């Protein structure tokens, strides 16, 4: 038995295919979904979506959103998402280094919060690449 996974952003369909299993981050921790999982709706945190597709694990960097699971159908509505295989490793590493530098320079609560958010996103993109290496 398979799960139908659809990952959508406001601009495009990132993934739409049957999978064997997924693991992703919610605001209360990671959750794994196998066939016949109980129906739920949950917020999705910034993190890596791991997909067991056929006999391999693939990754998608998720930038938050919502997920609905029911009747072996999973829909993830993400603010933004990017397949790990589509991320340029050099660009992602440069973005991470810039985000770290910006956090060190941040002053005031608002700048620190915004810099931390950018850093989390950058770390997620690098992590999605490293998870498939």
List all residues 6 or more positions away from 38 whose beta carbon is below 8 Å from its beta carbon.
69
Structure confidence by residue, pLDDT tens digits, 111-131: 999 999 999 999 999 999 987
Q: In the predicted model, is pLDDT for residue 103 greater than 50?
A: yes
* pLDDT recorded at residue 69: 97
pLDDT of the residue at 131: 74
Instruction: Look at residue 130 in the predicted model and tell me its pLDDT.
Output: 80
Fold of domain 3-84: ATP Synthase; domain 1 (2.60.15)
Q: What is the pTM of this model?
A: 0.93
Residue 68 near residue 74 (C-beta atoms within 8 A): yes
- pLDDT of residue 133 exceeding 90, the answer is no
118 contacts 95 by C-beta, under 8 angstroms: no
CB 128 within 8 A of CB 48: yes
- Domain parsing of the chain, residue ranges: 3-84, 88-130
Query: What pLDDT, on a 0 to 100 scale, did the predictor assign at position 132?
Result: 57
In this prediction, residue 35 carries a pLDDT of 96
């Amino acid at each position: 038995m398979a799960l139908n996974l659809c990952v959508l952003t406001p601009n495009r369909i990132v993934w739409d295919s049957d999978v064997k299993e997924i693991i992703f981050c919610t605001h209360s921790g990671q959750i794994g979904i196998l066939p016949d999982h109980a129906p739920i709706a949950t917020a999705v945190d910034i993190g890596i979506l791991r997909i067991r597709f056929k006999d391999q694990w693939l990754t998608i960097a998720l930038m938050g959103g919502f997920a609905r699971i029911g009747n072996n159908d999973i829909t993830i509505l993400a603010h933004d998402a990017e397949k790990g295989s589509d991320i340029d490793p050099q660009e992602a590493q440069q973005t991470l280094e810039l985000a770290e530098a910006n956090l060190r320079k941040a002053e005031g609560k608002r700048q620190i919060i915004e810099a931390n958010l950018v850093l989390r996103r950058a770390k997620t993109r690098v992590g999605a690449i490293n998870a498939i290496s």
